[in-house]
Amino acid sequence: MNVSIAPRASDLKYAIRDIVVAAERYEREKGERPLFLNIGDPLKYDWKTPEPMVRAFCDALTQGVNGYAPSRGMPELREAAAEKEKRVNGIDIDPERVLVTMGVSEAIQFLAGCLVNDGSEFLVPGPAYPPYLSYIQYFGGRAVTYRTVEEEGWSPDIDDLRSKVNEKTACIIVINPNNPTGAVYDHKVLAEIASIAGEYGLPLVTDEIYDQLAFEKKQTAMVRAAGDVPVIGFNGVSKVYLAPGWRVGYVYFHDEDGELDPILDGMLRQARIRICTNAPSQLAAAAALKGTDDHLPEMRRRLRERRDLIWKRLNEIDSISTALPQAAFYIMPKVELEGRWANDYEFVLDVLDNTGVVFVPGSGFCPVYGAGHFRSVFLPPPETIAEAMDRLEAFMSRA
């Protein structure tokens, strides 16, 4: 068969799930299941979707909500998203300027589909959630990562960001709280980033999917720091509301003069092509956003306990050090490769082959600022985290 695969597809990478291929090989060859610390899906561990959300989903099904939904998203969900942003983040969102997407990943796809032209560059925090890098590349653009400073809790280097703005820059992206580092950016830093976007007339995109999972350091919504600079916000129910498999996200457009209308129109056109997001999950997500948050204090408590455990254990292991995450459920340790491993990908594979513990190579989040690191989740129960750290510690003592 004469088949030629386009490089945009054959070159695609997604470090978080690509490592699963190696983990599956390990399971086949060793006959034992690995300890997966690679994927940010709470339901793979000892977490459950809140019962009111499950009931709302079942009710939607039994009430016959099984057909197509509007491509823009159901009014109930768009209104609920606006209410939630007001209640949680103190910002005013017009439900008519909300677009429902299949998770934040589709929002990233739509954004890249709108803004990538020949040679377009997107300023993305380094390290960053991999689909930002991959989708921009897929559409023919270039993700330019701006430095975040590990020694300062992975806070953005504003001077570095500014130095990378040029005539090819299509937008500035912020991920706050951050995946993969767990960083929470200060109001002052957000305001400085917004100021740069305003100065150069660039769209400012903020991914706040972990907005209610901050610990000691409170998260500030970008809209509150941006002043009159237009903001495109990404959010959804996957993480905070423990429903990643529902694939429900949303995008809001916050601007006074309609400056973002061309992007909204372009994203809506792409949404119409893919028809719609799952209809019953939209109604259930609306129920969640309207106030299913009783689980959050206990969720944050459990996550903080597990964060403290893995942070302490990692910093006790020879040749590994890490900053303390301030939100979400990820930690991004640094490993001293010291000639023992060619790179962090080789390190992660060696750990897997010798311990059965699955991490994600840091360079998958940024080949520059993620190199020499690996990402772990701290979603598993404390005993699983302890077991994984015991194995890693023993491995490092031998390496």
Residues 202, 196: Cα–Cα separation, whole Å:
8
* pLDDT, tens digit, 9 for 90 and up, residues 268-302: 999 999 999 999 999 999 999 998 789 999 999 99
Backbone Cα Rg of the chain: 21
Query: Do the bridges between strand 142-149 and strand 121-126 make them parallel or antiparallel, or are there none, so unpaired?
Result: parallel
Residues 336, 347: Cα–Cα separation, whole Å:
10
The mean pLDDT value for 258-277 works out to 96
In order of 101, 112, 248, the CA distances from 78 in angstroms are 11, 22, 11
Residue 186: per-residue pLDDT: 96
Residue 327: per-residue pLDDT: 97
Residues 169, 117: Cα–Cα separation, whole Å:
10
User: To 10 degrees, what angle do helices 279-289 and 75-84 make?
Assistant: 30
* pLDDT of 9 strictly over 80: no
In single-letter form, the type of residue at position 340 comes to R
Cβ proximity of 82 and 98 under 8 Å: yes
What's 31's DSSP letter? S
Query: Do the bridges between strand 169-175 and strand 121-126 make them parallel or antiparallel, or are there none, so unpaired?
Result: parallel
Residues 214, 240: Cα–Cα separation, whole Å:
10
Q: Using CB atoms within 10 Å of the CB of residue 302, give its burial: 0 to 12 exposed, 13 to 18 middle, 19+ buried.
A: middle
Residue 119: per-residue pLDDT: 87
DSSP alpha helices (H): ranges in 63-218?
75-84, 103-115, 130-138, 158-163, 187-200
Cβ proximity of 179 and 210 under 8 Å: yes
* pLDDT, tens digit, 9 for 90 and up, residues 309-333: 999 999 999 999 999 999 999 999 9
* pLDDT of 115 strictly over 70: yes
* Mean confidence (pLDDT) of the chain: 94
Residue 217: per-residue pLDDT: 87
Structural domains present in the chain? 13-48+295-398 (3.90.1150.10), 51-289 (3.40.640.10)
HSE at residue 73, side-chain half, CA atoms within 13 A, is: 33
Residues 299, 240: Cα–Cα separation, whole Å:
9
Pick from 125, 132, 8: which is nearest to 368 by CA? 125
Asked whether the bond before 127 is cis by omega within 30 degrees of 0, the reply is yes
Residue 15: per-residue pLDDT: 67
HSE at residue 237, side-chain half, CA atoms within 13 A, is: 31
Residue 2: per-residue pLDDT: 78
Residues 279, 70: Cα–Cα separation, whole Å:
9
In single-letter form, the type of residue at position 200 comes to Y
pTM flag (> 0.85)? yes
Residue 3: per-residue pLDDT: 78
* pLDDT of 6 strictly over 80: no
Residue 1: per-residue pLDDT: 79
Cβ proximity of 397 and 357 under 8 Å: no
* pLDDT, tens digit, 9 for 90 and up, residues 30-55: 889 999 999 999 999 999 999 999 99
In single-letter form, the type of residue at position 394 comes to A
* pLDDT, tens digit, 9 for 90 and up, residues 152-207: 999 999 999 999 999 999 999 999 999 999 999 999 999 999 999 999 999 999 99
The mean pLDDT value for 81-105 works out to 96
In single-letter form, the type of residue at position 119 comes to G
Residue 265: per-residue pLDDT: 97
* pLDDT of 369 strictly over 90: yes
The number of beta carbons lying within 10 Å of the beta carbon of residue 61 is 14
* pLDDT of 123 strictly over 70: yes
Residues 375, 333: Cα–Cα separation, whole Å:
7
